[in-house]
Amino acid sequence: MNLEQKIKKLAEYINKSSNIVFFGGAGVSTESGIPDFRSSSGLYNNQEYDEPPETMLSRTYFFENTDKFYDFYKNKMLYPSAQPNDAHKILAQLEQAGKLQAVITQNVDNLHGLAGSKNVIELHGSANKNICLNCKQFYDVNYIINSKQTPLCKNCDGLIKPDVVLYEEQLDEQTVSSAINYISGADMLIVGGTSLAVYPAAHYISYFFHDGKQEKKSAIINKSGTSYDDMFDININEAGIGIVLSKAYDLLF
């Protein structure tokens, strides 16, 4: 199938489904100006810092090199001016139409929420939530950005930590359980903007395929191939996810 045929088939599947789950990664937000991780221009190929991002975004590094952690984090992970793109908006509209039941995201940028999605499961937390490790006071992302030095609690001077899952940390069990339940019960799974290379999060999509029901449909939209591609009914890598979802939505409404 060519691109237009794939988009038409995607629209047909969406039209026949009422329990769609979307599972997304960094590629969903690249059209909003937020770099991904593993492409040639992505975060992991940046040479600006001496240590690799996997080190600087680890729990150990946060506590042992807090100043350097925040220098990297504020410079490379926070994009306060970013706005939802067509992919975020269409997903929110599909939820409002009663088609989409949940967005499960590996991103921490809160763009799905800004676009209007209500049921967003953030596997890796949210950069918009930050917590004092001492008194548990919460702070928004602007407090972090506007802190000239390491962010400290204005109530108790305690260290503030972003409420995101760092390397060496476990995903929240309740969040994982909720994501798996939605994926297992979906009648359609749309995966977008992810290489499905981050574990254990990427493994969760296998729960959709466990029972092998023929009436369940699936689509993956990503600019590069993944090791899961053969499992999906539709594989789209000829265009960005915002374009694909917008064209499919136009065929529906």
Which residues are catalytically annotated? Answer: 124
CB 253 within 8 A of CB 20: no
d(CA 241, CA 227): 19
Q: How many CB atoms lie within 10 A of CB 12?
A: 15
CA–CA separation, 229 and 237 (whole Å):
10
What is the amino acid identity at position 192?
A: G
